[in-house]
Amino acid sequence: MIFQQYPIVIGALGGLASLVMLANAWVPSDPVIPEEPVTDAVFVHLFEWPWRDVAAECETVLGPAGIGAVQISPPQEHIVLPDWNFPWWQRYQPISYQLESRGGSREDLIEMVERCRQAGVTIYADAVINHMAGMESGVGSAGTQFTKYEYPGLYGPEDFNPCRTAIDNYQDATNVTQCELVGLADLDTSSPQVQAQLVDYLLDLANLGIGGFRIDAAKHIRYEELGQILDQLRDRYSGNLFIYQEVIDPGTEAVRKQDYYVHGNVIDFKYGQFVSEAFWGLNGHTLANLETLGEGWGLAPSNQAVVFIDNHDKQRGHGGGGNYLTHKDGARYALANVFMLAFPYGIPQIMSSFAFEDSDQGPPTYPDGTTRPIHENGTDHCFGEWICEHRWPAILNMVAFRQATQAQPTVTDWWDNGSNQIAFGRGDLGFVVINGDTTSLTHTFQTQLPPGRYCNVTVGTLTEDSQACQNQSSPIQVNEAGQFTTTLDGLSALALHVGAKLPIP
């Protein structure tokens, strides 16, 4: 979570058909705690989606597509800022740990977790535990009134670090972890009392069935203290939790991502920058260079890394800057996600956004600040004010490609034209071609795929009877030698996998 340093903070490609929600009403039951988090599955960040809409999306889109988890926005009580037109970052200014937020009520959250679990989708919560709100005073989404450093029944001035000024030296680890991130009240996470409150909050969520946590602003918590908090949580919770930490590490600062590996995964921000720059041809990068993308580029080890093309901060130019593709870049953005989902590195996070014109703008709302729904009266509002890029066919259908090729952890049969046309296989399980040029590509590709006819899943999938490919005139024919010849338009892709192989006619 990074947003610009505002004075008020430091002082006073196509679509899917509309999907219908399940007809039967959900009946609440005791939460079922997942025994194992889905730690290697693709997950999607439904940024600022209300809990009821998340539940409906799990049932109608995410579960059927094989998406393993959803990252939700911070569920705790947060400040409400009507004078700022309810900005997105109000969610990252906690007032208390009551589960009453712009996303919905505690009951709504419990229902969402259970409905998603039944659809095969785990919920990860964005955990804001580094700080509290930075405003001088205000009221929270559950009605709690506060002043900075005084949060009723929770924290007082003694619970915050004595450095009451904004971070101004990223070469000094003490400054980064003990001073205030853009004026937010920085918790003293060395304090047993503070640690106890944070553990209680995380444990409450885990006991409701939350399967993992994104640790927001982990870089601003001393890694030893974050470890103490997580160790206490694990001591008190019998299940496993997927922990992934926001550590923005450009490789030139005092706080390093590798210090946090011991606690769980880290979000590697450099990945999206490298891939985006390759698709734009910036800083000397081309798609051909991506053959070696990985730890040798200064990225985290694959089994430690959560990766994305963009996230809510990078869309807005926050979080250290850099060049990142977003949904506003259309076909190139879709192709970058195709690459991420096809290339065997890290755990991919897909972004799902809302439209915005300025970097403060919050989600679509009614005048009172209530978030407008995505699913409503049997229809949905995707591909407009809600972007829903996770539903773009070239992105959604590649989830099945990744699942189908997981057993082959390396790249095989790499081909490139020395520039921005590439292809690679995943052994005998899958093969992808990406044309990042604006001109067409015609080539005969060597694969290890079994002979037969395959659907190009970036365009469509098998029909229900598995007799034809949806949304494409003819399947791709792989011959006995494992070869096929195709022509791809500029800025397009082709992906084949064994799960999209047509039966012999």
Residues 6+ positions from 84 with CB-CB distance below 8 Å: 8, 90, 360
User: In whole angstroms, what is the distance from residue 241 CA to residue 234 CA?
Assistant: 8
Q: Is 252 exposed, middle or buried (0-12, 13-18, 19+ CB in 10 A)?
A: exposed
CA distance readout (Å), 179 to 130, 155, 164, 214, 251: 11, 17, 6, 21, 21
CA distance readout (Å), 149 to 116, 129, 136, 183, 460: 37, 15, 9, 12, 54
Host H or E run for residue 347: strand 347-352
Q: Is 28 exposed, middle or buried (0-12, 13-18, 19+ CB in 10 A)?
A: exposed
Active-site residue flag, 204: no
Give the pair of three-digit tokens for residue 492: 């397009």
**194 Cα distance to chain centroid:** 28
Check if the beta carbon of residue 117 is closer than 8 Å to that of residue 34: yes
Residues 6+ positions from 377 with CB-CB distance below 8 Å: none
Check if the beta carbon of residue 459 is closer than 8 Å to that of residue 471: yes
| Among 216, 225, 249, 310, the one annotated catalytic | 216
Which residues are paired to 442 by β-bridges? 487
Task: Count CB neighbours of 232 within 10 A.
Answer: 18
Active-site residue flag, 216: yes
| Among 126, 246, 310, 313, the one annotated catalytic | 246
Give the pair of three-digit tokens for residue 242: 């997927």
Catalytic residues: 216, 246
